Amino acid sequence: MTTPPVSGSVTVKSPVSRRRLSSSLVFLVVSLYFLIPLVATFYWSLRGEKDVLGFEAYRKLFADANFLPAFSESILNAVATILLSLLIVVPTAYWVTLRLPRLRPVVEFITLLPFVVPAIVLVFGLIRLYSRPPLLLTATYDSSRFLLICAYVALSFPYMFRAVDNGLRAIDVRTLTEAAQSLGANWTTILIKVIFPNLRVALLSGALLTFAIVIGELTIALYMAQHTLGPYMANLTRSKVYEPSAMAIVAFAITWAAMGIIDFLARGSSRHKQMVDTD
Amino acid sequence: MKPTTTNSKSVNSTVGGAKRPPRLRLGHWLGVLPFFVFSGLFLIGPTLILAYRSLERSEGGLTLDNYRQLASDTVMSAYGMSIRISLATAILGGLIGFLIAWVVSMGGLPPRFRLITTTFSGVAANFAGVPLASAFVFTLGRVGVVTALFEVLGVDLYKSGFSLYSFLGLTLVYLYFQIPLMVLTILPALDGLKREWREAAENLGASPLQYWRQVALPVLTPSILGTMILLFGNSFGAHATAYALTGGLFNLATLLIGQQISGDVLHNPGLGYAVAMGMVIIMAFSIFIYSILQRRSERWLR
């Protein structure tokens, strides 16, 4: 976090300030690349009404009959994904840390697979695997939705596993487990009452990252013919002029909120750790 | 990474061996069983069926014919464009990302800049897809704000050959999530450079340039290369952004697979499977190289 000390800062002041100047320049130029699209989109989103700047595009977006259903369905899918992913990943990471360390390389390999199998390939495979009996899941909207959530859970593995694994490394799982065991707790009690609460920050980070990825996901939802936010947004860009800009700003705000909370949590927990360390 | 593994091995022997009777060994597996079943059903299974179908002859039996047909013009030009865009955004994104990471970590800027950069990078790295495509349409599309600004200055971007829906345009858009990914992955590596190394180099009379060329860069090279390969894969597998930008009609490997899902555009289902598997093979290869380089860099940077 701290900037490295600059050697001889008093005697050789000019190279340091020159470096600061060129640093600022680089930072400024790259910032422009990142900020201009946001500013431009925001500007467009304010032009929904003729000749005045205002929030008409946002009002129209929220009033669109398809927006809220798509949005709420995406939120529900994301929540279901997070819960299912936690339910699968937490025991796995716990077991691999404590009881079956030999399996760690295998589990880590599998959690890397979503980077090897891109979403477009995964949905292709899912459709081919589940579009005919005995594994028919693409027949109805709801069964396709189930398949979609399962695919999202698989996609969340890399993030969720890493988050939970980091969380487990930060606490002393063994001592906690042994203490709970010696007090007579069984494995379910240990997981729910001891491990879960101690992993709160790690779990929340994994959950929020998953949320940010899943909420506007397009590729899988599109080919599973789901009426979620991703396909809705894609449709909107083709049919409307100003609403897509409002939509992009809303999506950006959601991502920003999720990432901001993760940062906030991480900073809080590292501060807490520092306090414990200095004890 | 390593210490925990050895640590927990000893844990396993005390907890699993001494306290628990051996008949519960099956119980050991219960905690990981859901993970393996789930991965098998929704991650490995779908991939394996594509692999199998890509090797299947239409009259039955196995063949490599589908892979031979990857050399056809349609497939090769789609792969070619994907590879070109991925290379360009990996190299450019890697260089710019490294520069920014260096600037905020040791460029003499106040620490606040670093905090803003990491938070924003977290957002931008996950901002791919439809909203990102929209943002660039409103910026550099035919009626985009920047396009309009250039028009005021007397430059018609689209008449002078620029298009958002081209190699150059897609590269510009992809950099929006590639640069932040580079920043996020390379910052810890930069933090790993030990102050003692610089001091030792300075004591031996090295100039800052010599320190960078002979100490810092050799240590960082595996990380930089590895992350660039990660960026390559990240761009190569990207579908949503390109789909939203071009309506799925651009000549890109991921979009070709999308078209094949909707209908047999290659007039050969087997070839469609081979295109998908070719993608998996390239991605697997890049992740493999990435993990090797990452392990190499861990030797110095911890």
Domain for residue B35, yes or no?
Answer: no
Give the whole-number percent of chain A exceeding pLDDT 90.
61
Residue partners of B259: CB distance under 8 A and separation at least 6:
B248, B265
Partners of residue B198 in chain A, C-beta under 8 Å: 4, 7
Q: A266 and A205, same structural domain? A: yes
* ipTM of the complex in this document: 0.87
Render pLDDT for A91-114 as a digit per residue (tens, 0 to 9).
899 889 888 888 999 999 999 999
Tell me if A248 and B46 make a contact (CB, 8 A cut-off): no
Give the residue from B82, B84, B70 showing the smallest Cα distance to B272: B70
Domain for residue B267, yes or no?
Answer: yes
Domain for residue A5, yes or no?
Answer: no
Which residue in B has a C-alpha nearest to residue A211's C-alpha?
A: B126
Burial A54-77 (b: 16+ CB within 10 A, else e): eebbbebbeebeebeebbebbbeb
Number of domains observed in the structure of chain A: 2
Domain for residue A32, yes or no?
Answer: yes
Q: A156 and A39, same structural domain? A: no
Give the whole-number percent of chain A exceeding pLDDT 70.
91
Q: Is the CB of residue B98 less than 8 Å from the CB of residue B186? A: yes
Q: A93 and A19, same structural domain? A: no
Render pLDDT for B137-153 as a digit per residue (tens, 0 to 9).
999 999 899 999 999 99
First and final CA of chain B: distance in angstroms?
Answer: 10
**pLDDT score of A135:** 79
Distance CA B67, CA B32 (A): 36
Q: A165 and A27, same structural domain? A: no
> CA of A7, closest CA in chain B: separation in Å?
9
Render pLDDT for B26-53 as a digit per residue (tens, 0 to 9).
667 788 899 999 999 999 999 999 999 9
**pLDDT score of A196:** 81
Mutating which of A21, A117, A181 best tests the B interface, going by the most B Cβ atoms within 10 A?
A: A117
Highest mean pLDDT pick, B12-26, B182-196, B233-247: B233-247
Angle at B16 between CA B12 and CA B21, to 5 degrees: 165
The one-character DSSP state at B55 is T
Partners of residue A92 in chain B, C-beta under 8 Å: 31-32, 34-35
Render pLDDT for A160-214 as a digit per residue (tens, 0 to 9).
999 999 888 888 888 888 899 999 988 888 888 888 888 888 899 999 999 999 9
Distances (CA, A) of B85 to A195, A276, B6, B174, B241: 44, 48, 42, 9, 13
Distance CA A161, CA A108 (A): 8
Chain A / chain B CB contacts < 8 angstroms: 292
**pLDDT score of B178:** 96
Highest mean pLDDT pick, A131-145, A167-181, A243-257: A243-257
Domain for residue B23, yes or no?
Answer: no
Domain for residue B39, yes or no?
Answer: no
Q: A135 and A205, same structural domain? A: yes
Q: What domain range includes position B149? A: 71-298
CATH number of the domain at A94, please. Answer: 1.10.3720.10
Tell me if A30 and B34 make a contact (CB, 8 A cut-off): no
Mean pLDDT, residues B83-111 taken together? 94
How does residue A76 score in pLDDT terms, banded at 50, 70 and 90? very high
Domain for residue A3, yes or no?
Answer: no
Domain for residue B19, yes or no?
Answer: no
Domain for residue B34, yes or no?
Answer: no
For residue A44, pLDDT over 90 is answered with yes
Structure-block tokens of residue B268: 């050969």
- DSSP SS3 for A65: coil
Q: A216 and A84, same structural domain? A: yes
Tell me if A27 and B113 make a contact (CB, 8 A cut-off): yes
Q: What domain range includes position A25? A: 13-45
Domain for residue B41, yes or no?
Answer: no
Q: A233 and A135, same structural domain? A: yes
How does residue B61 score in pLDDT terms, banded at 50, 70 and 90? confident
Tell me if A20 and B50 make a contact (CB, 8 A cut-off): no
Give, for B193, the enclosing helix (H) or strand (E).
none
Q: A173 and A86, same structural domain? A: yes
Q: Is the CB of residue B230 less than 8 Å from the CB of residue B285? A: no
Distance CA A230, CA A248 (A): 11
CATH number of the domain at B184, please. Answer: 1.10.3720.10
> CA of B54, closest CA in chain A: separation in Å?
11
Q: Is the CB of residue A129 less than 8 Å from the CB of residue B49? A: yes
